[in-house]
Structure formats: C-alpha cells, structure tokens
Amino acid sequence: MKILSLFEPIRAELEVVEERLHQAAEVEDSQIRDILRYLLDSGGKRIRPALVVLASKFHDSDIERVLPLATAVELLHTATLVHDDLLDGSVLRRGDPTLNANLSTGAVILVGDYLFARAADLAAATESVPVVSIFARTLMTICSGELKQVFDQGAWPRTKEDYYESTYSKTASLFAASTEAGALLSGASGPTVQALRDYGHNLGMAFQIVDDILDFTGEEKELGKPIGSDLRQGTITLPLLLFLETHPDVDILPSIFEDEQGREERIRSLVDMVTGSSAIESARAAAERFTVESKEAIQDLSPTEYRQVMLDLADYLLERRL
C-alpha cells in the first residue's frame, strides 16, 4: 500500500497543506525563494501534517484552524532536517544534495531559523494558546535533544534509556505534538486528547526505530545515503546497543570514534556483525511493541474511517523500506 492511497480520506486537506507550504516559500528575495522551494519541493511523506488532520477528525473542528497547524508542523520538521544535516555533515538526503553541500554554515543555520519562525507564525494563526504552548515546548524538546546528542557524540557507554530519551526528543515529540494539538483544535475531551497524544508518541518511537534498523539493513539506492550513516556520525542506535549487549567482547566501537585510519573498513565490519546477529530482530520487536501500543491507544475511539487510517498507518510505517 502506498502512503498516498492510505491518506485518501484526507487527500483534500493535504492538498491544501501542500499549497500552503509552497506559499510559505514565496518570499520577495529570489535566492531565499529558490532555497525554500528546493526544500519544500523535495516532498516527503507528509506524515506529521496528516496526523494533525486525522487527530482533528474525532470531533467537529474548524478546518481553517487545523490547516495552518498542519502546515506549521511540516515546516518545523523541515527546519529540523536542515539543522540535522548541518550538524551531521550530511551532503545527501534521499539522494539529493543538502543545503550544506552548497551553502555556508551561517546561511544554512539562518534558513533553518527562518523555517522555525514561519512555522511559529502559522501555529499562532490557530489562535489557540494551548496549541502554541505545545508547539513551543516541542521545539524546545527537539533542540535540547539535538544539543545533548552533539555534546554526547561518541560518548560511551550509552544505554537503551539514553537512546529512548533521544528518540523521543528528536522524533516522537513532534508526532505526539501533532496528534495532541490536532485533537485540541477539535475540542476533544481530555481522555481523547491523551489517547491521541499516546498514539502519536508511540508511533514516533516505532518510526525512528525502523529508521535506525534501515540504517543497517536498507539499500543505499533506496535510502539515498550510505549504510551505517549513524555510525559515521558517531550516533549509537538501538540495533548496535542490542548487539553489544549480547557481544560484550566486541571492542571495535572505540576505535571507530578515535582513529580515522582504517575507519571505513571497521564501520563496514561492524555493520556486517550487527546485521548478521539477532540484534536486528530484537530491534524490530521493539518497534513492533511501540506499534501495538500506538494502536491500542486509540482502540476505544469512535471507529471511523479516520481511526482506521491511523491504525493502517501504524502498520505501514512498521513495514516500510525507506
């Protein structure tokens, strides 16, 4: 199943979000306009704006307040990708050059900052203080998580608790904010808002774990980046942590972080060891647990076509290959 067909019940709303994303790129300065168009035309699955819209469907909602928020969360997500690529030194994303492949560090930072500001402006258009508060808290969570990752890069040992905290900060927090804020805009009751937030939280955790598995098992052509990219950036993810739990005698990791000579060969060797072990299966089991929890969170909500989309989305994201 393709994600576009999965989102068919909210296709009209997502088309408006797409239009508004392109409107956000229409600024006076032609250079900035070209950069923003490049970023926003690169597409993506638009999962986060879809979550906002879906979460607003369990009660009557004003779509003209929901759509700015849906656009805002995608702009916020795009801004985090811009800064992520800069921090990681990535020159490719989905096979296309990143901004830092062609622009100065200062220019890349300012593009990300502009997107953050534009997103905040759209969030304010909801005229909901609680929604703006969620938006601001989520941005702080994302940034604090990124700062911690920078400060802890290459640090060892790292625990699964560290990993899960980082995963929430950089990925699941925005999923949770999308569903919580969408629900709030619909005037949903407290239990419904909490259920939808729990769904988003667990969905985001599963999504990131699958991403981290694919960094070991995926095809470079599909991913648009080299296998083992996280290792190259000094990021220790769940598959590696689970591998080291069962192979405490493997001491290759410190040399990857400390010695440049022969580093690429050692990375390839470690990737092969992880993919040849039970760690991938164990990491997938963790993603499956979060997927089950996401679906259970909304099991008692009205059995509408929108809830079914959310249930199907959880399964789709677990099985994806990129």
**pLDDT tops 80 at residue 252:** no
Supply the CATH number for residue 164's domain.
1.10.600.10
pLDDT above 70 as % of the chain: 97
- What pLDDT does 2 receive? 74
Mean pLDDT (whole number) for 18-43: 91
Integer Cα distance of 26 and 14 in angstroms: 19
- What pLDDT does 231 receive? 86
Handedness of CA 172, 257, 109, 21 (dihedral sign): negative
The distance from CA 254 to its chain's CA centroid, rounded to whole angstroms, is 28
pLDDT band at 44 (very low <50, low <70, confident <90, very high): confident
**pLDDT tops 60 at residue 75:** yes
Domain hosting 108: range is 3-319
Mean pLDDT (whole number) for 267-275: 93
Mean pLDDT (whole number) for 276-298: 98
Q: Mind spelling out the 3-state secondary structure of 119-181?
A: HHHHHHCCCCHHHHHHHHHHHHHHHHHHHHHHHCCCCCCCCHHHHHHHHHHHHHHHHHHHHHH
- What pLDDT does 1 receive? 57
Phi, psi of 174 (to 5 degrees): -75, -35
- What pLDDT does 192 receive? 97
Q: Report pLDDT digits (tens) over 206-231.
A: 999 999 999 999 888 777 778 888 88
The distance from CA 134 to its chain's CA centroid, rounded to whole angstroms, is 17
Domain tally, the chain = 1
- What pLDDT does 154 receive? 60
Q: Report pLDDT digits (tens) over 174-204.
A: 999 999 999 999 999 999 999 999 999 999 9
Give, as one character, the DSSP assignment of residue 96: E
